[in-house]
Chain A
Amino acid sequence: MATAREPSTPKIVQDLPVIDIQDVSFWYGENAALRNVSMAIDRHGITAYIGPSGCGKTTLLRLMNRMNDLVPQTRMTGSIRMNGKDIYGANVDVTRLRRRVGMVFQQPNPFPKSIYENVAYGPRIHGVKSGEFLDEIVERCLRRAVLWDEVQDQLEESALKLSAGQQQRLCIARAVAVEPEVLLMDEPCSSLDPVATSRIEELMLDLKDDYTIVIVTHNMQQAARVSDFTGFMLEGELVETGVTDVLFTTPRDRRTEDYITGRAG
């Protein structure tokens, strides 16, 4: 575990897209969830996937840290590369991959442990034993998630006592505690009220200097507010990708236009 963020990737890789999705198709049993999706995700930006429910955007997100490995009877073709290396390759250590590609879920899902233990969980797993060092990580990550001021006096209290918005920020703190490069966010605000939502959005904008953020949302305003790049998905296909402002103002594809103007989806 590194104390400060160090460039873990060689200079030459810095120019590559962090995640490069090439021609990915995916099936749950017999049902195709993704069809020939290709997209490159750039470093230090926020990429948003929008689209109606069931369009495959969450599935795509969960392929980026191999979370779908846990789902039985699935099949994938195509390749996903991270910093040029195939994450579905033969010698990939999935736990190492997931450490580098953190995830925040739709529902806040803190562990039924103390606030402190929630943040310390990842570092502990990866071998941090020193209490002082852990204290430092916990404080840094809680500050990073703009939660420190609210919880610094109740670190030993159950995380479940926090409000939903605080819990979601705690989950972000937990995710960044293992120093990932990429942070996947699966509709992180869908269960939050508007105030909590805007706090998370501010946090995302703040985090993008250090992390590459990929967010799935079906709130188009949210995508427009926070993201740099947007991909629109429909029925398992990636219909259109582009710089957010451009995609929202001058969509090239008719289906995208229908969706963002509210005529479909």
Chain B
Amino acid sequence: MRLKWSGDDALVWLSGGTLAVIFLLVAGLVLIIAVHGLGFFWPQDLTRYVLRDGRIILGQEMYHETVRGVDRTGGTTFGYRIRVKTGNQALYPNGHTWFEEGQVVARDAPRRAVVVERTAGGDVFGFLESFVDDGRIVAEGHEAVWSAYRERFPELERLRRQQALSIELSAADGRRYAVPLSDVLRLYGPNAMSAWDRIRHYMAGAWTYLWASPRDGNSRGGVYPAIFGTAVMVVIMAVVVMPFGVLAAFYLREYGRPGPLLGVVRVAVNSLAGVPSIVFGVFGLGFFVYFLGGTLDRVFYQEALPEPTFGRGGILWCALTLALLTLPVVIVAVEEGLAAVPVALREASHAVGATRFETLWRVVLPVVLPSILTGLILSVARAAGTVAPLMIIGVVAFAPELPVDGVWPFVHLEREFMHLGYHIFDTGFRPAGGEAALPMAYTTTLLLLVTVAVLNAAAIGLRTRLRRRYSLSAAQA
């Protein structure tokens, strides 16, 4: 006898399967970002390839991809094509090269191969030949040059100003190339590194990344200004949006008389959430930058005109635009929280003679606090990740000055600033830095992801604690 077919079974599999697919996609995305992002600082080995055509190439393998070919008998063959980062764009155009794996005659990892990180122009790979001081060779050979460099390393910052010192390297094919010491940022031989050395190198790289300014067209160095800019902007945004959102929600739920007008307002608020973010950018440009900023300039910064002070993109306008963008998020979250406050609690307060305000302030507000925090979390996460509208109102790829610094009046809200999201766009997709900057895009993405995750976790933790304190369901437990 056949069992009756149950629609439940199908739905369980369908819904469960959907969830599994979503989970796999998210996990895969995070994994890719994490692997690439975290691998960025790891000192990768330098490999020397000897090719069939006689070329000798020293570099780091970037990709390894399958190519399908056709052999003489018409059958399909599979081979690999390797892309190697060669560095040193003066000798190798683009700083990378492709060749088929079949062409490789021999490969090894020479212990003496070194990487020179430069302040500009990308890395140089090669072998140390000589240390030159004002045209005079003071050291020759790997060990001697290395120790000469080591000796001067502590004073590198000061020596940078002297143009006389330089290190001469030879490429794998014997060509010589001199790097002025003023350009050298770091010198290391990855192949000779112990695991401990590598970890230290990794840590140093990660530290620099977090706390240094970018260089070399954002492809190298750190993202500190972007972290700082993003944080400052989000804080200003939150300070503006929270009172507005919370008060608006209180009016909508507590004071506004239910009716068509309130309905229209609510629909408008919800629709605001669906407006493309770039439209907010255009509004920000027109209203905040041109109108408000322009007016401020005419009234308070007359002497600086026609050079605009507030009448151009800046961190304040970005924060205000994002506050507008995230307003519906806050309103909806707080409104839902208010709707969930039991009538019995309000009545209990009224019954001892509390006014409406006292009831709101002393009874309702503590209970909706977790919802207010939820609104804050959601708006911060949204604001930290939104880039499109900011690109036209004040976010730039490289800003030399931070929005908050030691120069009076310390907070410079009119300044353009760097943003993590825009940094990803700039390093990942702008040809200026070339492909050299691509790995950094992963790292910055990871950083942004971690920042938002940490923010969320912190706020969720806080919310759980508040909920426990003001829990309405504990009695039934």
Which residues of A approach B to under 8 Å, CB–CB?
Answer: 65, 67, 70, 72, 95-99, 102-103, 105, 107-113, 121-122, 125-126, 158, 160-162, 164, 167, 171, 174-175, 177-178
Binds A, one of B18-26, B269-277, B341-349: B341-349
Which residues of B approach A to under 8 Å, CB–CB?
Answer: 257-258, 342, 344-355, 358, 362-363, 366-367, 469-472, 474-475
* CA A96 to CA B352, docked complex, whole Å: 9
Minimal beta-carbon separation of A67 from chain B (angstroms): 6
Give the contacting residue for A125; candidates B257, B258, B345, B354; CB below 8 A. B354
CB nearest to A163 among chain B residues: B475
Determine the chain A residues whose CB is within 8 A of the CB of B471 once the complex forms: 112, 158, 160
| A70 and B347 in contact, given A109-B342, A111-B363, A112-B366 (Cβ under 8 angstroms) | yes
Is A112 a contact of B470 with CB atoms below 8 Å? Answer: yes
Determine the chain A residues whose CB is within 8 A of the CB of B348 once the complex forms: 105, 109-111, 171, 174
CB nearest to A162 among chain B residues: B475
Minimal beta-carbon separation of A215 from chain B (angstroms): 15
Is B350 a contact of A109 with CB atoms below 8 Å? Answer: no
CB-based A-B contact count at 8 angstroms = 83
* CA A174 to CA B349, docked complex, whole Å: 10
Is A67 a contact of B347 with CB atoms below 8 Å? Answer: yes
CB nearest to A174 among chain B residues: B352
Determine the chain B residues whose CB is within 8 A of the CB of A110 once the complex forms: 348, 475
Is B353 a contact of A122 with CB atoms below 8 Å? Answer: yes
Determine the chain A residues whose CB is within 8 A of the CB of B366 once the complex forms: 112-113
Is A109 a contact of B344 with CB atoms below 8 Å? Answer: yes
Q: List 16 A-B contacts (CB under 8 A).
A: A67-B351, A95-B354, A95-B355, A98-B350, A102-B351, A105-B348, A107-B344, A111-B349, A112-B469, A112-B472, A121-B362, A122-B354, A125-B358, A158-B474, A171-B348, A177-B352
Determine the chain B residues whose CB is within 8 A of the CB of A162 once the complex forms: 475
| A98 and B344 in contact, given A111-B363, A121-B362 (Cβ under 8 angstroms) | no
Determine the chain A residues whose CB is within 8 A of the CB of B344 once the complex forms: 105, 107, 109
Known pairs A96-B353, A122-B352, A174-B352 / 15 extra A-B pairs, C-beta < 8 Å: A65-B351, A67-B350, A95-B355, A102-B352, A105-B347, A105-B348, A109-B347, A113-B470, A125-B352, A126-B353, A167-B475, A175-B351, A175-B352, A178-B352, A178-B353
Is A160 a contact of B352 with CB atoms below 8 Å? Answer: no
Is B351 a contact of A164 with CB atoms below 8 Å? Answer: no
CB nearest to A167 among chain B residues: B475
Give the contacting residue for B352; candidates A98, A112, A161, A164; CB below 8 A. A98
Determine the chain A residues whose CB is within 8 A of the CB of B362 once the complex forms: 121, 125
